[in-house]
């Protein structure tokens, strides 16, 4: 055998052994990979799910509503707590009570005896008074505008605005809506007729259907 | 030299053969890899036979419950899972026991009603709490409990789950109807979800459903929490099977609690869409949900996806689910 032949043979041996080692490494790698994904009860399984679960947003613990009357000259917030105080002071069976913004009355909701806190409050707003105290949504000099105030109140206290928009306030609201839209706050709005009272209720009929509630 | 074959020396021939063999092996390996067949090697082994799946002590009890559930379903259909409650006018969607059932607060004082109504009407948390404050010390246990639950609910609405949990933990349940205790468990579960503690939520929801079988939201949220737990990669096989069973029981119960089957279909399509048909347990939920909502075509699509998506659950659990999926092949109801 010549020296050249012996060198060729040695080279082929090295190549064959290298290939064999490569195959073994590949097999070990495959076995290792298989083990790591072998069933989710394996200790090395990935803990975080690849697809997060996103449920439909049935709001079970709603934000606190903050009602706003939208009129021709601007907006005015319903001082709901003033009515709560007035009703509390007047006591049981008091009938309608007066606040600066209008008349309100508390009633038990429905005849059937359900939850302790079933109620119905009807509020007749004094629109002249509301118009006189309405504020334009644009920021006054040196103060944040209404949009910023609403966004902040939602973020800090989960107070979500509910706009009752009278025909005269539609232009004001259209602009406000555009500015609020996409700011990450929850809001509702309803067109409102001047002669209609505002009724806030909690009663069993709200749960007759599994409807999306605020 | 033209026309003369060159003889290969024996030593070189041996090395060449070894190289040839190694090359063939590598070629086969590469062929398998490129043809996609290597995927077989990457996928987990075939699920173990059913007998093996239930062999472990930890699985035995759960397998028994699993089999019992399917026997009930085979015998009575989905009606086997219907909720039976004593109240004829149950409102399953009610957020509190008082909304789900009548006359639970018949012993409450008139002033308690008045203060609770004002608190419910108020939209200022501080004022709500001030009105509820004296009721948390009321003589009537149910009134006291209800006011306490409401206080915790307000904390949750404010986005303070830890405070809600502490308030619930401090409640005295003596003399309180089970349906009202379910409210407390539900608030605790919701707080745990906000804190991303799914294990605590799972436990609290189980207590809520056990306390009030007619509590729609508890069952719905329980189904969602169990679904989230089922897509987690690391879980015990018995827990996986128990969660799947719970989901099926919930779905069956929801058919009897739902006002119409669209609600059920929503649950099924949520399971169907949100996991891209990759988790056999959730696809089993989608299959049954669609079936019970009267959509056999979609049910069959979901069912077919169960057997083609293996390796997402513990093997023993997965084997039992696949077995049921295969048994359902061709069934229409």
Q: Do A115 and B258 touch (CB under 8 A)?
A: no
DSSP B137: G
Out of B117, B220, B266, whose CB is closest to A117? B117
pLDDT of residue B41: 40
pLDDT of residue A3: 59
> pLDDT tens across B165-183, in order?
999 999 999 999 999 999 9
Task: Give chain A's mean pLDDT.
Answer: 80
Interface of A with B in 1-40 (CB under 8 A): 1, 5-6, 8-9, 12-13, 15-17, 19-20, 22-23, 26, 30, 33-34, 37-40
Residues of chain A by 3-state class (helix, strand, coil), percent to 5: 40, 20, 40
Query: Residue A13: which residues within 8 A CB-CB, separation 6 or more?
Result: B15, B18
Share of chain A above pLDDT 90, in %: 45
Residue A101 and residue A129 in contact, taking contact as beta carbons nearer than 8 Å: yes
User: Does the structure show a pLDDT above 80 at B124?
Assistant: yes
Per-residue confidence band for A31, with pLDDT thresholds at 50, 70 and 90: low
DSSP A207: G
Q: Which of B133-142, B263-272, B300-309 has the highest mean pLDDT?
A: B133-142
Tell me whether 0.85 is exceeded by the ipTM.
no
Return the half-sphere exposure (C-beta side, CA atoms, 13 A cut-off) of residue A173: 23
User: What is the least distance, in Å, from the CA of B68 to any CA of chain A?
Assistant: 24
Count of A-B CB contacts under 8 Å: 224
Quote the distance between the C-alpha of residue B240 and its chain's center.
Answer: 9
User: Does the structure show a pLDDT above 80 at B249?
Assistant: yes
> pLDDT tens across B217-227, in order?
899 899 989 98
Nearest chain B residue to A34 by CA distance is B42
Contacts of A156 in chain B (CB under 8 A): none
> pLDDT tens across B19-63, in order?
565 555 555 544 444 433 344 444 444 556 666 778 888 899 999
Gap between the Cα atoms of B243 and B224, Å rounded: 11
Best to test chain B binding among A35, A54, A112, A116 (most B CBs inside 10 Å): A116
DSSP string for residues in B10-69: HHHHHHHHHHHHHHHHHHHHHHHHHHTTHHHHHSPPPPPPHHHHTTSHHHHHHHHHHHHH
Q: Do A61 and B224 touch (CB under 8 A)?
A: no
User: Does the structure show a pLDDT above 90 at B67?
Assistant: yes
pLDDT of residue A44: 42
Name the strand (E) or helix (H) holding B142: helix B141-157
Which of the pair, A20 or B73, is modelled with greater confidence? Answer: B73
pLDDT of residue A165: 97
Residue A119 and residue A109 in contact, taking contact as beta carbons nearer than 8 Å: yes
pLDDT of residue A205: 78
Q: Do A23 and B22 touch (CB under 8 A)?
A: yes
User: Is A202 part of the contact surface with chain B (CB cutoff 8 Å)?
Assistant: yes
Out of A17, A84, A108, whose CB is closest to B127? A84
Task: Give chain B's mean pLDDT.
Answer: 83
Per-residue confidence band for B16, with pLDDT thresholds at 50, 70 and 90: low
Which of the pair, A25 or B262, is modelled with greater confidence? Answer: A25
Burial class (CB in 10 A: 0-12, 13-18, 19+), B294: exposed
Q: Do B42 and A210 touch (CB under 8 A)?
A: no
Q: Which of A17-26, A106-115, B1-10 has the highest mean pLDDT?
A: A17-26
Interface of A with B in 83-142 (CB under 8 A): 83-84, 87-88, 91-92, 106, 108, 112-119, 121
User: Does the structure show a pLDDT above 90 at B72?
Assistant: yes
């Amino acid at each position: 055998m010549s020296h050249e032949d012996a060198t060729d043979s040695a080279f082929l041996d090295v190549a064959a052994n290298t290939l064999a080692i490569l195959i073994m490494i590949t097999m070990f790698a495959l076995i290792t990979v298989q083990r790591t994904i072998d069933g989710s009860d394996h200790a090395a399984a990935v803990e975080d799910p690849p697809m997060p679960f996103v449920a439909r947003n049935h709001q079970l613990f709603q934000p606190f509503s903050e009602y706003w009357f939208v009129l021709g000259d601007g907006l005015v917030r319903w001082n709901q707590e003033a009515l709560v105080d007035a009703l509390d002071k007047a006591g049981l069976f008091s009938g309608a009570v007066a606040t600066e913004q209008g008349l309100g009355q508390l009633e038990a909701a429905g005849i059937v005896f359900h939850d302790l806190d079933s109620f119905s409050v009807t509020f007749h707003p004094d629109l002249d008074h509301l118009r006189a105290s309405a504020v334009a949504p644009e920021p006054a000099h040196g103060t944040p505008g209404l949009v910023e105030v609403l966004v902040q109140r939602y973020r800090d206290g989960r107070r979500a605005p509910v706009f009752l928009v009278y025909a005269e306030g539609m232009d004001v609201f259209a602009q406000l809506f555009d500015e609020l839209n996409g700011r990450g706050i929850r809001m509702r709005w309803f067109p409102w007729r001047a002669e209609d009272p505002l009724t806030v209720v909690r009663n069993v009929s709200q749960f007759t259907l599994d409807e999306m509630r605020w | 030299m033209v026309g003369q074959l060159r003889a290969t020396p024996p030593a070189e021939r041996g090395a060449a053969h070894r190289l040839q063999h190694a090359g063939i092996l590598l070629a086969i390996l590469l062929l398998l890899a490129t043809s996609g067949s290597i995927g077989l090697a990457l996928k987990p082994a075939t699920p173990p036979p059913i007998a093996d799946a239930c062999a472990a002590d930890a699985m035995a009890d759960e397998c028994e419950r699993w089999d019992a559930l399917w026997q009930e379903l085979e015998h009575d259909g989905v009606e086997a899972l219907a909720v039976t409650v004593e109240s004829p006018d149950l409102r399953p969607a009610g957020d509190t026991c008082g909304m789900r059932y009548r006359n639970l607060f018949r012993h409450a004082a008139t002033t308690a009603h008045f203060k609770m109504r004002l608190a419910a009407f108020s939209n200022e948390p501080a004022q709500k709490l001030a009105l509820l404050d004296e009721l948390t010390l009321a003589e009537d246990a149910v009134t006291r409990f209800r006011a306490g639950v409401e206080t915790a609910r307000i904390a949750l609405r404010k986005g303070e789950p830890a405070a809600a949990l502490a308030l619930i933990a401090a409640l005295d349940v003596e003399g309180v109807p089970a349906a009202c205790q379910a409210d407390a468990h539900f608030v605790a579960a919701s707080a745990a979800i906000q804190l991303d503690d799914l294990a605590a939520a799972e436990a609290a929801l189980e207590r809520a459903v056990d306390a009030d079988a007619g509590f729609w939201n508890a069952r719905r949220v329980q189904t969602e929490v169990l679904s989230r737990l089922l897509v987690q990669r690391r879980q015990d096989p018995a827990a996986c099977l128990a969660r799947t069973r719970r989901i099926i029981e919930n779905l069956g119960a929801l058919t009897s609690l739902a006002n119409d089957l669209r609600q059920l279909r929503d649950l099924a399509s949520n399971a169907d869409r949100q996991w891209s048909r990759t988790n056999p347990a959730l696809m089993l939920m989608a299959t049954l949900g669609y079936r019970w909502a009267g959509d056999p075509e979609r049910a069959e699509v979901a069912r077919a996806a169960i057997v083609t998506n293996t390796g997402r659950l513990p093997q023993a659990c997965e084997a039992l689910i696949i077995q049921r999926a295969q048994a359902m092949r061709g069934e229409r109801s």
